[in-house]
Amino acid sequence: MDGSADPARGSGTGQRPVPCHVAIIMDGNRRWAEARGLPVALGHRAGAEALRRAIRAAGEAGVQWLTVFAFSSENWRRPAEEVQELTGLLRFYLNHEVKALAKEGVRLRVIGDRCRFGEELRALIERAEADTASKTRLNLNVALSYGARDEILAAARAVAEAAKRGALDPAALDEATFEGFLATAGMPDPDLIIRTSGEQRLSNFLLWQAAYAEFAFLPVLWPDFDAEQFNAALESFATRDRRYGARNP
């Protein structure tokens, strides 16, 4: 996306600028459950409820794009029981929540290596994307089996293949062309990235796209995240002076 102008906008004179695209690293489900002496699975289920609240808050705030980091490529290395719970929760969500998303005007898209999921789950993802494809109130991207380094490597391989076929002149390759090979092709870069649980790192999330993003690191664990925290992050964003590397006049 062209970084020459700030995509955040307000709904009227004197109102706060609202980020066009908010991305969230949803962190803290395990710690939330352990702090309460509960199984980790219940932490993930509570996290799913927090996601519902975040989607609602984003739509009410006028955010146009929301990207959430739900399952990283590294998460496959977690205990098999936890991976099974996560994929089962995803299956439940796709079976029971898509109609509600569509009713609220939410378009769902999945980015990441969906090939690692079973055939049934891949079919559910494709059906959910198709069933919400016409919705325009909020674009919801769910990063599943996603890793930014893998994404960039895949794009580089695709560029190399295109050059090998003669479909692309390497000397003419620029940022806009390269972005067309990323999983987020056609989407705006995130203006604001929120991470919960108090951790202050990207954890291999949207590394290319985050070049000029603002950050909000919140101490709240993800299952406790609600509209109040979301709007506080938006208020903080509204105070930022975004220069994209340029000096102020």
Given 2, 6, 75, 226, which residue is catalytic?
A: 75
Beta strands in the chain (DSSP E): 21-25, 65-72, 106-111, 138-146, 192-195, 214-217
| Annotated binding-site positions for Mg(2+) | 27, 214
Report the distance separating Cα 17 and Cα 35, nearest Å: 37
The C-alpha atoms of residue 164 and residue 9 are separated, in whole angstroms, by 42
Residues in binding site: 27-32, 44, 72-74, 76, 78, 195, 201-203, 214
Q: At what angle do helices 80-96 and 40-61 cross, to 10 degrees?
A: 40
To the query of whether residue 75 is one of the catalytic residues in this protein, the response is yes
> Which one, of 193, 247, 243, 235, lies nearest residue 17 by Cα?
235
Which one of the listed residues 27, 139, 141, 191 is annotated catalytic? Answer: 27
Residues 117, 190: Cα–Cα separation, whole Å:
26
Is 27 an active-site residue?
Answer: yes
Catalytic residue annotation: 27, 75
